[in-house]
Amino acid sequence: MRETNHEHEHEFEASRGLPEPLPSDESLLWQGSPHAWAMARDVFHVRGLAAYFALILSLRAATVWSGGESVQSAFLAALQLMPLAIFALAALGLLAWLSSRTTVYTLTNKRVVMRIGIVLTLTFNLPLRSLVAANLRARKDGTGDIPLQLLASEKIAWIHLWPHARPWRVSSPEPMLRCVPQAAVVAERLSTAWQSATAHDWAIPQRRGTAESAKSSGHAPSSLSPT
């Protein structure tokens, strides 16, 4: 069986976020979903879009008013564009909410499982031994993103991951746990689990070349601790 794989969710899950029950030698360390507002704010950029629409409406009103129309006419002219702004913001907010509701991230002592997808649900099993590095991008509210760099031999198409993919890494996609609540705690658990799962792997001669390559690129396994 390939170390990194995905499969469709068709009828049911054995347990939340998992396509089958955990084996007896595998234990659940953490499970969670993206924070809906953080997804809307940081992934779908609703605040930036709201500011953009506010600027457009202001310019529209100013243009009408500077043309000699009354303040009331200028306000009504801007108001005509309001439904478009509301619709766009509501659509992105709904998309963020659906992404949060349908996504489940699971961390065990052996793997990271990502159940993602609004219409077509996919499950990605990422064994801890297939991870080269991970980082933490924390925010003031406690949420954060945790991108996962996979071995070069393991690759997942960017389009299959979006929006759970690290931005601007299209040629070498990196799965990302997006807008995770208490992200620092999750990153610490991931780091501890990874170190335990790979304690002996990097001493195996056939993997030594991969380890040395990772070190030379600045992404050695020891860098998996949150930064």
Which tens digits make up the pLDDT trace of 101-143?
999 999 999 999 999 999 888 999 999 999 999 999 999 999 9
Residue 212's domain spans which residues? 5-12+26-34+104-216
pLDDT at 190: 96
Specify if 223 maps to a domain: no
Is the pLDDT at 199 greater than 90, yes or no? no
pLDDT at 32: 96
What total number of domains does the chain contain? 2
Closest CA to 34 of 203, 186, 149: 186
Domain boundary among 81, 98, 115: 98
Q: Are residues 109 and 204 in the same domain?
A: yes
Predicted model pTM: 0.80
Specify if 90 maps to a domain: yes
